[in-house]
Amino acid sequence: MSQKIFVGMSGGVDSSLAAALLKRQGYDVTGVFMKNWTRDLPGFVCGWETDYKDAKTVAVQLDIPLLTLDFERQYRSKVVDYMLEGYKRGLTPNPDIMCNQEVKFKLFLDTSLSMGADLIATGHYARVTNAQLLTASDESKDQSYFLYRISNTALKSTLFPLGGMKKTQVRIEADKLGLATANKPDSQGICFVGEVGIKQFILSELGPQPAGDIIDQNGQKVGSHDGAIFYTVGQRHGLNVGGGLPFYVTHKDMKHNRVYVTTDLNDPKLWSKHIKLTLTHWINDPPKPNADYLVKCRYRSAPNKCRVRIKSDTAELELYEEVRAVTPGQSAVIYDQDICLGGGIIQSAV
C-alpha cells in the first residue's frame, strides 16, 4: 500500500509540479489548498480565488482530490499580527518565515497527519536528508533561509520534491505534462496576501502614521517622513530627500519618530561585524563554539564566515568581514556548508 501524502498546492507552478512528481513516484497524493487570507485591500483585490481555481484545475488534470483547509484566523494571529507588531516596534520582520513556522509546517502538518496522511510536501526549493535541512541544488532559488525555524520533527514528515531541480527544469517539466500553471508567473509581495506593497498593507491595517524628521549623519534635518514605521536599514529609495548624493537609512528612533540617514556608504552605522540574535532556533544540534560557519543576514545576501556564541535562546555572531545594512527584525541563518543549522531574529548589530 502506497504512502499517503498531502501536498500543499498554492495554485503556482512549483507546488503543481511537486504534486505531479509525487504521483508519478507512486504516492497516494491529495492536494491541499490553504485558505489563509481572503480580504481585499483598498485598490487591491486578493487573488486567492484565482489561485484556488488554478490549484483545482491542476488537481483535475492529475486526477487527485483537492481539499481546502481554512487557516485564516490562525494566519492572522500568528503571521499578520506578528508582522505588524514588529513594524510598530521599528523592526523589519519576515512574514514568510513565520508562515512556514506556524502555518505550513505546524498547522498544515498537524492537520494532515490527523487526517491520515503519512507525509506532507510543498514546492519549496530545499532538500531534506535524515531530518536535516539542506540547501537546494539551484542556489539562485534556494529557500532554506525561509525554512530555518521548522523543527526536525516536521522535517521527518516532509518532502521537497523540487529540491534537486533548477527553476528552468521545473517550467519545462510542467509544460511537458501540460499543467495549467506551467507558465504562471511566480507570486510576489506578502506571503498569501498577494502582490501588495508592505507600505500599502501597513496603511490599510494600522492607518496613517505620524510624520517626523529625517536627520543626516551631521545631525541636520534634511527632510520629513510620513511614518518611521515604513523605513528599513539600508533603504535608499522612497526617502523623498532631493538633490545631491543619495541617502541611506542607518537607523530609526521610534520613541522620537526620527529616521537617520547618511550619504556615506562607508558610514560605520551601515556596517556590522557583531550581531545579536534573539529567539534562536536550531533544527538539530546547535553550532559548536570556536568553529567556523556561514551566515546569511537576509535572503539574497551572500553568505559570510562567522563564529557563533550561544546563550540560552539568544546568540552572538562574530563575522569575519563587515556586512552592510544588517536589519533588526530580519533573520540571520547559520549554515555548515550546505546544511542549514537554524538561526535567530536579529536584535541588534554593531
> Could you report how far apart the first and last alpha carbons of the chain are, in Å?
56
Q: How far apart are CA 12 and CA 52, in angstroms?
A: 10
Report in angstroms the alpha-carbon separations of 79 from 38, 73, 100, 167, 180: 14, 10, 9, 27, 30
Q: How far apart are CA 35 and CA 160, in angstroms?
A: 21
Decide if 340 is catalytic: no
Decide if 99 is catalytic: yes
- Lookup: cell for 63: 486526477
Q: How far apart are CA 300 and CA 215, in angstroms?
A: 28
Q: How far apart are CA 166 and CA 142, in angstroms?
A: 10
318, 274 Cβ separation under 8 angstroms = yes
- Lookup: cell for 84: 505588524
Considering the candidates 46, 191, 306, 340, report the single residue annotated as catalytic: 191
Q: Could you tell me which of 244, 285, 286 has the C-alpha nearest to residue 264?
A: 244
DSSP 100: I
Which positions are catalytic? 99, 191
